[in-house]
Structure 1
Amino acid sequence: MKPYRIPQLAKPYTDYDMIQRHTELPPFSDGRGHLLYIFLNHGSSAERVNGELYTLVTALVQLGLDTHEAIDRSNGEQGGDPMRSRQLKVLAGDYFSSWFYHLLAKREQIEMVGILSTAIADFNVMKAHLYGKMRGMLLSAEQYLRQMVQLNMRLFLSFTPMIEEPLAEIWEKLLAEFSQCETVFLELRRSNDPANALDGYCYWKMLESATEDERQMLRSHNLDLKDWKKLMMKYKCDSLLTDKLHQSLLSIRGLLQGIKDENLISELSHALDHFLLQMKISGQAAVEG
């Protein structure tokens, strides 16, 4: 099997000075992508031949969807740099997503165009339902996190029919745990900034236990950094997320122990190590057990 190199292959489609200067892109779906690449390469010859292409286009679509998701939907200041950042995120998200059709059509993979198009449509329906619940304040923190994980799995689940039958179950279990890790890691990262965190896990968790005055502050979406940090410390949101990350990593290691194929175990262990390195958490006590 060729080494995993999807992040490098994606760079010609994602590295643009204008975008990097004026806005910040979401993290690349490296864990899920590496996992998909490994399992496709343990499938039939057709999947092995196209495994790199399928993983690349899926990662680009996911980056496009995540870039749109990162657009600030607040009603705050609309001029200058914030407006430029919003506009670039819209354009960048559309641009990244558009490459899947071009790259697949170039290789005459028309069926895969249809499969991914269906997955994108499903993703958008799921996201709309989630936003509806958020607007109606009909969501708990755990429900929010669970639905975000399901959203982050959707594109990758499209490939389950291509996974060798004996491996399909472990593929889905590992995909769920890797998706949980990436989702929780992003929630941890965004929790440092109230402007980014005010519709995330910590926001919903605080609402569940906050005093009435605190709820009013949270619902107004008008907290400064000092007030936000006080609430974060009071309700231990970072600790809750770190515990979830720790538990998912333990689950991944447990799943790997149940695999009998030594080559597959080796590849997945390498993917996990690479994943931890990319998240920059491999040295943290919270995930070392």
Structure 2
Amino acid sequence: MSRARINQLASKYMSHDMISLHTDLPDFPEGRISLLYTVLSHQPSSASHKELLSVVTTLVQMGLDTHDMVENSPSGTTNGVKGMRTQQLRVLAGDYFSSRFYHLLSQAGQIEMIRRLSEAVCNINQLKMNFYGKLKQMKMNAEEYLHCGAELKSGLFLAFTGVMGGLYERLWPEIVERFSRCEVLMHELAKVEKMSSLAGSWGVWHILQEGAEEDRNILIERGDENQSIQPLIHKYEIAEKLSAHLRQSATQLQVLIQKLQSDNLLRELQPLIEPFVKAGQHRATALKELG
């Protein structure tokens, strides 16, 4: 199944004029959904339901991510009727996607899967509370930030561990966590390359952990200002460090998939891994040329 096909199927259940007219939606979780669909294709017990399970997981993830857009919106965006309507619709959109998930699985008699995914949502919400609490209290370091980000992205997909068989059941949690870690690193690297949304990013936590005292003080006092963060991002070579982490995680992901001892699966998953590998290599090549 192509990414476009997954997107098309899920979009059919997410389409609503009111939502599309008055608010935007988070990015479609194409990578993780494609990973799930491909691995389910190699599971005799769930292969026949792979399309349904991929679509409902998309709906739940989009619901979670849409609600996150409400929680993380700057307070100023809620000013005025238009801003308030956007916020309200994001809440309603998240709830709407979740209701579609319940409906589709109940119609198919997949009651056990409803339970698994619902428990996963509860766990994710608890993780978010702990994560945001640490952020607010400044009780975070760079590795914890990365680990928590990967946990939040992989949490829903861990619900499928119990439907995997044999070696897949043992390796799936590691595979989906490492894949999610690569996604987080790619996202953080994009922030640095675009020099946007740097406040609270991995680079900030790295500098707060490893930087000189005067630089840490700058971030503590003016850490929400991009213009204050940008020089420090260059000084501490944050893009280079993120790129190195990405190369390492992509290599570890490839090793994990090879352990499944399926050439067909490795070949099918390679297009999903390739962007991580290329992103890390591109940065390494650019640095070598500059040197």
TM-score with structure 2 length normalisation? 0.82
Cα distance between partner residues in 2 of 1:221 and 1:87: 31
Cα distance between partner residues in 1 of 2:165 and 2:273: 21
Moved more, 254-263 or 78-87: 78-87
Kindly tell me the number of residue pairs found equivalent between the two proteins: 282
Partner-residue secondary structure (3-state), 2:28: coil
Task: State, as a whole percentage, how many aligned pairs show the same letter.
Answer: 37
Query: Cα offset for 1:50?
Result: 1.1
Cα distance between partner residues in 2 of 1:287 and 1:91: 44
Task: Say whether the 8 Å CA contact 1:126–1:151 is kept in structure 2.
Answer: yes
Partner-residue secondary structure (3-state), 2:95: helix
Residues 83 and 281 of structure 1: is their aligned pair in 2 closer, same or farther, counting only changes over 3 Å?
farther
- Are residues 1:12 and 2:9 paired? no
- For 1:132, give the aligned amino acid: G
Task: Say whether the 8 Å CA contact 1:246–1:286 is kept in structure 2.
Answer: no
- For 2:129, give the aligned amino acid: A
Cα distance between partner residues in 2 of 1:102 and 1:3: 25
Relative to its length, the structure with more helix (as a share) is: 2
- Give the corresponding residue for 2:39: 39
- For 2:68, give the aligned amino acid: E
Residues 94 and 213 of structure 1: is their aligned pair in 2 closer, same or farther, counting only changes over 3 Å?
farther
Task: Say whether the 8 Å CA contact 2:64–2:94 is kept in structure 1.
Answer: yes
- Give the corresponding residue for 1:30: 30
Alignment of 1:150-165 (within 5 A): 150-165=151-166
Cα distance between partner residues in 2 of 1:280 and 1:39: 20
Task: Say whether the 8 Å CA contact 1:203–1:218 is kept in structure 2.
Answer: yes
Partner-residue secondary structure (3-state), 1:159: helix
TM-score with structure 1 length normalisation? 0.82
- Give the corresponding residue for 1:67: 66
Cα distance between partner residues in 2 of 1:55 and 1:224: 39
- For 1:33, give the aligned amino acid: I
Task: Say whether the 8 Å CA contact 2:208–2:216 is kept in structure 1.
Answer: yes
- Give the corresponding residue for 1:238: 239
Task: Say whether the 8 Å CA contact 2:59–2:98 is kept in structure 1.
Answer: yes
Alignment of 1:167-182 (within 5 A): 167-182=168-183
Query: Cα offset for 1:271?
Result: 3.7
Cα distance between partner residues in 2 of 1:235 and 1:174: 30
Moved more, 250-259 or 61-70: 250-259
Alignment of 1:1-289 (within 5 A): 5-14=5-14, 23-45=23-45, 47-71=46-70, 72-76=72-76, 78-80=78-80, 83=84, 85-191=86-192, 192=194, 196-210=197-211, 214-220=215-221, 223-273=224-274, 276=275, 285-286=282-283
Query: Cα offset for 1:170?
Result: 3.1
- For 2:56, give the aligned amino acid: V
Query: Cα offset for 1:155?
Result: 1.0
Residues 224 and 166 of structure 1: is their aligned pair in 2 closer, same or farther, counting only changes over 3 Å?
closer
Structure 2's unaligned 5+ residue stretches are: 287-291
Q: CA RMSD in A?
A: 3.1
Residues 152 and 241 of structure 1: is their aligned pair in 2 closer, same or farther, counting only changes over 3 Å?
same
Q: Which has the higher contact order (CA 8 A, sep 6+)?
A: 1
Moved more, 202-211 or 118-127: 202-211
Cα distance between partner residues in 2 of 1:151 and 1:288: 31
Cα distance between partner residues in 2 of 1:30 and 1:124: 22
Query: Cα offset for 1:147?
Result: 1.5
Query: Cα offset for 1:221?
Result: 5.7
Cα distance between partner residues in 1 of 2:7 and 2:218: 40
Residues 181 and 105 of structure 1: is their aligned pair in 2 closer, same or farther, counting only changes over 3 Å?
same
Partner-residue secondary structure (3-state), 2:120: helix
